[in-house]
């Protein structure tokens, strides 16, 4: 199963950091993630 998410934000809202955290959590749970 493939799930795609789109994160929208403006400068300074931490979207890059949030996606990095979610991707790392997915990898730790055994999933494959691209951020």
35 vs 8, 21, CA distance in Å? 13, 10
Helices (H), the chain: 15-28
Which token pair is 16?
A: 């890059």
Helix, strand, coil shares of the chain, percent, nearest 5, are 40, 0, 60
Q: Hunting for tokens 């979207």 — which residue is that? A: 15
CA distance 35 to 32: 10
The tens digit of pLDDT for each residue in 1-35 reads: 888 989 999 888 899 899 999 999 999 999 998 86
């Amino acid at each position: 199963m493939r799930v795609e998410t789109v994160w929208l934000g403006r400068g300074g809202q931490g979207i890059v950091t949030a996606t990095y955290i979610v991707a790392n959590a997915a990898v730790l749970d055994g999933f494959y993630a691209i951020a």
